[in-house]
């Protein structure tokens, strides 16, 4: 069944105070065209600069998820994005007249209510789902964090938290479809520990924080007479209490497992930064913004790989990423110098595996050597370099207008001859990339045995510019 992209019917605004800056701010949501995505626009700055809601633009995760582009930033975007994702909105302009959205009550509900007032508008274009077809896992053993995406033809999330605090305990929650978000998760508030609040306050942050927009859990010993001092220090007033459950003041939890639900809310908001809706089962243990963002980067990379493959590989073939037709569309090389037959594995900006079937029909065997054909070592290097050229594809804008020229070849070693009948498997890893210079490391194998290896560096130049230089 075709599922259409969505935006909102009309502009709507929500005003309030930023959590960390304490500054007054207004967020205005506006309809956006198909395939526009989600973008923040700083209307308080000259030129109304935009920041796409993409994980590539995350610049800080120390106190929420902060997006930035150059000197332009927007703090704590996760609750806004959770509301957008929960309402399954694909295209949206988010104008903001300050550096931080309003904190509201510490949940995503104020933004949900604003967007619902605006109304959801279906568009003609189909949603661009990323279907997770292999397990993706992020793990941080030191912090006991694990996040996994599993294949599923739907979207579900399960979150567990355990901070070894008596007041919080071990909690878990699950969302079995996005239709549950508004009623079951959107109103879950931010929670934090007293020691964190004191540290943030000492650092000059949470100027807009209060017990009206966060659940504060006491995680240190509080002696008689300390509460008044805590209230004055944190600008919470003198009427501050510690209830029997370990929370400041008589907080009534909106859900028994409200902290776990809020962690799911944060994770949903951060996963919006992948840039497309997902079809997957997400399992998360002790997630936080830093881990969420790293996990989103992993999923974003898978999306870019799939988009790249879809662009060039028009016929789906088992075990093949790019066939010879796709390779001929990607690389400028032609007979007799196209030395890659297929690509069987691709991890964007990381690794590629290519295949070269070596045949006696190769023209170079006529002279290298008559009666004892051996593939020239320089052509083995060239074949690996051509695989590297495909690996560079995502790193280069308008690749059809570019050429990659060798600048250095180091540590080249040839372990055994490559002869007719061999199938050469080439594994190329990205070592470094900066602007128009890319470093790769290549290894070639025949029947699992290493036959050649080399470190290479290439300079990417304009194809027309290279002709002028020649």
pLDDT band at 400 (very low <50, low <70, confident <90, very high): confident
In the predicted model, is pLDDT for residue 208 greater than 80?
A: no
3-class DSSP string for 2-15: CCEEEEECCCEEEE
Q: 205 pLDDT band (50/70/90 cuts)?
A: low
CA separation (Å) from 66 to 53, 101, 290? Answer: 10, 11, 11
pLDDT interval class at 110 (50, 70, 90)? very high
Angle formed by the axes of helices 226-233 and 194-202, nearest 10°: 40
**Tell me, which fold does domain 4-127 have in CATH?**
Ribosomal Protein S5; domain 2 (3.30.230)
* pLDDT at site 459: 86
**C-alpha closest to that of 177 among 84, 282, 263, 255:** 282
- As a whole number of angstroms, the distance between CA 278 and CA 120 comes to 20
The encoded tokens of residue 245 equal: 């459950």
C-beta pairs of 132-137 under 8 Å, 24+ apart in sequence: 132/278, 132/279, 132/280, 132/299, 132/302, 134/302, 136/295, 136/298, 136/299, 136/302
Beta bridge partners of 279: 131
- Contact criterion met (CB below 8 Å) for 423 and 446: yes
Question: What does the block give as tokens for 247?
Answer: 């929370």
- d(Cα 75, Cα 450) in Å, to the nearest integer? 50
Distance in angstroms (rounded) separating the CA atoms of residues 69 and 122: 30
Q: How far apart are CA 336 and CA 341, in angstroms?
A: 12
Active site residues: 289, 368
CA dist 84 to 172, 295, 352, Å?
23, 19, 35
Task: Tell me how many degrees the CA angle 128-129-133 measures, rounded to the nearest 5.
Answer: 140
Does 62 have pLDDT greater than 70? yes
Average pLDDT over residues 321-349: 94
- From the list 290, 272, 253, 256, the residue with the least C-alpha distance to 106 is 253
Class of domain 313-469 (CATH, top level) = alpha beta
**Cα–Cα distance, 459 to 390 (Å, whole number):** 14
Do 136-308 and 313-469 come out as alike in CATH topology? no
Choice among 230-234, 316-320, 344-348, 428-432 with the minimum mean pLDDT:
230-234
Question: Can you name the residues that pair with 445 across neighbouring β-strands?
Answer: 425, 450
| Whole-number average pLDDT of the chain | 89
- Burial pattern 18-37, b for ≥16 Cβ within 10 A else e, equals bbbbeeebbbbbbbbeeebb
Answer yes or no: are the C-beta atoms of 340 and 327 closer than 8 Å: yes
Q: Per-residue pLDDT for 323 more than 50?
A: yes
Rounded Cα–Cα distance for residues 281 and 177 (Å): 10
Cα 423 to Cα 444: distance, rounded to the nearest angstrom: 10
Q: What is the CATH number of domain 136-308?
A: 3.30.1700.10
Percent of the chain with pLDDT over 70: 87
pLDDT at 313 over 80: yes
Give 449's strand partners. 446
pLDDT of 470: 38
Render pLDDT for 7-39 as a digit per residue (tens, 0 to 9). Answer: 999 999 999 998 878 889 999 999 999 999 999
Residue 468: what pLDDT? 45
Confidence band of 234 (pLDDT split at 50, 70, 90): low
**Confidence (pLDDT) at 303:** 95
Q: pLDDT of 137-179, one tens digit each?
A: 999 999 999 999 999 999 999 999 987 766 677 899 999 999 9
Q: Residues 6 or more apart from 58 whose CB is under 8 A from it?
A: 65, 66, 67, 68, 273, 293
The yes-or-no verdict on residue 84 having pLDDT over 50 is yes
| Sheet of strand 58-60, all strands in order from the earlier edge strand to the far edge | 58-60, 66-69, 72-74
pLDDT digits (tens, 9 = 90+) for 242-265: 655 566 655 678 898 999 999 999
Domain ranges of the chain: 4-127, 136-308, 313-469
What mean pLDDT do residues 53-63 have?
Answer: 94
For residues 235 and 386, the model is more confident at 386
């Amino acid at each position: 069944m075709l599922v259409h992209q969505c935006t909102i019917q009309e502009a709507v605004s929500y005003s309030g105070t930023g959590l960390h800056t304490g500054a007054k701010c207004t967020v205005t949501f506006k309809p956006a065209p198909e395939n526009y995505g989600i973008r923040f626009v700083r209307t308080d700055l000259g030129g109304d600069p935009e920041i796409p809601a993409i994980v590539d633009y995350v610049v800080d995760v120390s106190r929420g998820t902060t997006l930035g582009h150059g000197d332009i930033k927007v703090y704590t975007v996760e609750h806004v994005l959770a509301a957008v994702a929960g309402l399954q909105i694909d295209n949206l302009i988010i104008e903001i007249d300050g550096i931080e959205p309003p904190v509201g009550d510490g949940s995503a509900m104020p933004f949900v209510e604003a967007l619902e007032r605006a109304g959801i508008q279906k568009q003609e274009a189909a949603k661009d789902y990323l279907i997770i077809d292999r397990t993706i896992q992020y793990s941080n053993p030191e912090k006991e964090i694990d996040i996994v995406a599993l294949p599923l033809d739907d979207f579900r999330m399960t979150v567990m938290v355990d901070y070894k605090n008596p007041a919080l305990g071990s909690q878990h929650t699950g969302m079995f479809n996005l239709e549950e978000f508004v009623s079951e998760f959107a109103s879950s508030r931010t929670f934090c520990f007293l020691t964190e609040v004191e540290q943030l306050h000492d650092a000059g942050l949470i100027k807009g924080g209060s017990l009206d927009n966060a659940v504060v859990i006491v995680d240190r010993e509080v002696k008689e007479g300390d509460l008044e001092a805590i209230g004055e220090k944190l600008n919470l007033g003198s009427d501050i209490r510690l209830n029997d459950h370990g929370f400041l003041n008589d907080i009534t939890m909106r859900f028994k497992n409200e902290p776990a639900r809020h962690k799911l809310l944060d994770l949903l908001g951060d996963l919006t930064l992948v840039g497309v809706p997902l079809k997957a089962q997400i399992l998360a243990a002790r997630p936080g913004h830093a881990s969420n963002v790293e996990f989103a980067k992993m999923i974003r990379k898978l999306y870019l790989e799939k988009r790249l493959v879809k662009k060039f590989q028009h016929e789906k073939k088992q075990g093949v990423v790019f066939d010879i037709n796709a390779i001929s569309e990607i690389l400028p090389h032609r007979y007799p110098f196209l030395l890659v037959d297929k690509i069987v594995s691709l991890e964007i900006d990381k690794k590629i595996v290519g295949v070269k079937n070596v045949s006696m029909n190769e023209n170079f065997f006529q002279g290298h050597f008559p009666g004892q054909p051996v593939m020239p070592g320089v052509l083995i290097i060239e074949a690996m370099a051509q695989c590297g050229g495909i690996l560079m594809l995502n790193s280069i804008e308008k690749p059809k207008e570019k050429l990659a020229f060798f600048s250095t070849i180091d540590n080249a070693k040839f372990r055994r001859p490559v002869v007719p009948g061999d199938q050469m498997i080439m594994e190329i890893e990205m070592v470094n990339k900066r602007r128009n210079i890319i470093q790769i490391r290549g290894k070639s194998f025949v029947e699992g045995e290493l036959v050649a290896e080399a470190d290479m560096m290439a300079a990417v130049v304009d194809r027309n510019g290279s002709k002028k230089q020649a």
